[in-house]
Structure 1
């Protein structure tokens, strides 16, 4: 007979993984809610020419904040990205400054021809702001825009911007609104990490900026990978490895002068880091720039593989595909 005084061993906590885990913020990391939505609404109070459009994704691109405050200037186009882009083009022709939001996969793959013919070829003043860039969702290839920069870099007239955090998004909104011409900007939505404020950073269109200095490694990064590069630089410093981080938020046009000046400094491993396929993104843009200018440091890429990625929880996927802080540290160490 079982001894009734014996206590049962505590059950082990079951570890689970879920595609619903979609935050890129680390535990305890400061965040700011819906920086794009709040910044757009604030700017619209000053500018009557701003209008907002979305393709049934107002809540999931933070456009709902603009819609609530300015319902007469908000247009819900339904699940029809081609119509969304065409309507935005028409509004731009009438003198408005449309901000059109959807998911990055739908803009780049589904509405490409409409953006090209209706907006970019005509050089219209449309701002296309798209959520779920790269590997920022666990819902698999149907929602992971791992090729959007490659697609849009090749489109004439179209500026391409990949902000790092909430601080930069808040500054980028008025900057792209003031810029005359079409813009594609990747969007981090929801509770977005707050990172760059600690570095006295100020966003400028077309400008790359050095955030940390180090004489062993130069990381040229964009988007959320600048956050990962900064975290990795801090960890590597504890191991005696000095890392310089150059943040490049504007992928097109590229700040060639700053990148070349940094890459020419002797004796440093040069690494590009991006939340995008290694095909056609920042890494290839920088490699081409360096080769054409005769700059030949040891060069490596941190990027997503040329593959359709798995579904699952983001922390798991970021480790698997090499864009977590720990993975960045490990790769850099292996190259030194």
Structure 2
């Protein structure tokens, strides 16, 4: 496309008829996680000369332009060369920098898995690989651009910290924490249009889950883009007399095992929710934790089944897979009903 770069197309600013109005209308761009990425790093870089940003021809999609405008000498657009970008970032990290290498989640985690493992995690390089537009947020572009396997893949890499941003303020907190986090990190951004969960920048600790709603009958352990609809589901369940706890398990590796076991021991059931393939992801991590601790509790993994999702608008896909508020509430009721021995 000679009249526009890739960033314009995938950011949705190109007039190609691929925008889903239900997914974008009414959202302040400053509250979009992918859009505060460059701004927050630019602010941090004003006081930290170690920070550099790399992107693979998607500076406008992830708003790395905000960083490039203020720190052009510390910004690199490598072009459509994601694997090379991650290796370049590792070299910069070996030279004393803290590089943030950003591209679509599917390209970062799937294309760059070897580089993340061998060049970043294995030698303990402080590279922050940022996978934005993950999950099904690239719905119109199909399987090649869906990032449903990244949680499962990244959590299997030794010495790699894996975190998922919940909303804009949450992302700001993660970026600040990442500056002094040892070793490599994979930072997963959701659909880029995530509603607010945290009205202010939260006080986080890597490896410690956040309980964003308390409850006694059920715990919904969600991550990233699914925390907000999990809260909506909890509201719907409360109207029917079900008290649901909602835990933001934003750190996938290392997992907060204490939060998982506490949920299993103090509430009646555990439901995990993630915008990704249930095979190997958050749900699998929680199941492993429960099994290894010998804790028995009604449990269900909820996310995308082990299949390639159809092409369509993200909002429609969330409804289709029951990953919106009403869908999660329905799955929770199924779990509770089945645990009582009644028909689901």
TM-score in terms of structure 2 length: 0.87
What is the match of residue 15 of structure 1?
Answer: none
The answer to whether the Cα contact below 8 Å between 1:56 and 1:77 also exists between their aligned partners in 2 is yes
The answer to whether the Cα contact below 8 Å between 2:31 and 2:167 also exists between their aligned partners in 1 is no
Q: CA deviation at 1:235?
A: 1.6
Q: CA deviation at 1:201?
A: 4.2
Pair 21,27 (structure 1): closer, same or farther in 2 beyond 3 Å: same
Alignment of 1:306 onto 2:318: no
Pair 123,28 (structure 1): closer, same or farther in 2 beyond 3 Å: closer
Question: Distance between the aligned counterparts of 2:25 and 2:270, measured in 1?
Answer: 26
What is the match of residue 19 of structure 2?
Answer: 20
Q: CA deviation at 1:110?
A: 1.4
Q: CA deviation at 1:203?
A: 2.2
Q: CA deviation at 1:328?
A: 0.8
Pair 188,69 (structure 1): closer, same or farther in 2 beyond 3 Å: farther
Q: CA deviation at 1:30?
A: 9.8
Alignment of 1:245 onto 2:246: yes
The answer to whether the Cα contact below 8 Å between 1:19 and 1:137 also exists between their aligned partners in 2 is no
The answer to whether the Cα contact below 8 Å between 2:129 and 2:185 also exists between their aligned partners in 1 is yes
Structure 1 segment 1-336 matched on structure 2, within 5 A:
19-21=18-20, 32-33=31-32, 34-138=35-139, 139-188=141-190, 191-197=193-199, 201-265=202-266, 268-336=268-336
Q: CA deviation at 1:335?
A: 2.4
The answer to whether the Cα contact below 8 Å between 2:164 and 2:190 also exists between their aligned partners in 1 is no
Q: Which has the larger share of helix?
A: 2
Q: CA deviation at 1:202?
A: 2.6
Q: CA deviation at 1:192?
A: 4.2
Pair 168,79 (structure 1): closer, same or farther in 2 beyond 3 Å: same
Q: CA deviation at 1:133?
A: 1.2
Question: Distance between the aligned counterparts of 1:273 and 1:31, measured in 2?
Answer: 26
Question: Distance between the aligned counterparts of 2:280 and 2:18, measured in 1?
Answer: 27
Question: Distance between the aligned counterparts of 1:120 and 1:327, measured in 2?
Answer: 37
The answer to whether the Cα contact below 8 Å between 1:107 and 1:130 also exists between their aligned partners in 2 is yes
Question: Distance between the aligned counterparts of 2:46 and 2:25, measured in 1?
Answer: 33
Question: Distance between the aligned counterparts of 1:239 and 1:254, measured in 2?
Answer: 31
The answer to whether the Cα contact below 8 Å between 1:56 and 1:79 also exists between their aligned partners in 2 is yes
Report which stretch shifted further, 326-335 or 155-164.
326-335
The answer to whether the Cα contact below 8 Å between 2:137 and 2:146 also exists between their aligned partners in 1 is yes
Question: Distance between the aligned counterparts of 1:84 and 1:28, measured in 2?
Answer: 31
User: Can you list the C-alpha shifts for 1:113-172, whole angstroms capped at 9, x where unaligned?
Assistant: 122211111110100011111122212111110000111111111110011111100111
Q: CA deviation at 1:190?
A: 5.1
SS of residue paired to 1:210:
strand
Structure with the greater alpha carbon radius of gyration: 1
Pair 149,323 (structure 1): closer, same or farther in 2 beyond 3 Å: same
Question: Distance between the aligned counterparts of 2:317 and 2:168, measured in 1?
Answer: 22
Structure 2, gaps ≥5 residues long: 1-16, 337-344
Question: What is the aligned-residue RMSD (CA, Å)?
Answer: 2.0
Pairs aligned (count): 317
Pair 188,277 (structure 1): closer, same or farther in 2 beyond 3 Å: closer
Pair 29,100 (structure 1): closer, same or farther in 2 beyond 3 Å: closer
Q: CA deviation at 1:252?
A: 0.1
TM-score in terms of structure 1 length: 0.89
Question: Distance between the aligned counterparts of 1:95 and 1:31, measured in 2?
Answer: 31
The answer to whether the Cα contact below 8 Å between 1:273 and 1:303 also exists between their aligned partners in 2 is yes
SS of residue paired to 1:196:
coil
SS of residue paired to 1:197:
coil
Q: CA deviation at 1:321?
A: 1.4
Q: CA deviation at 1:71?
A: 0.6
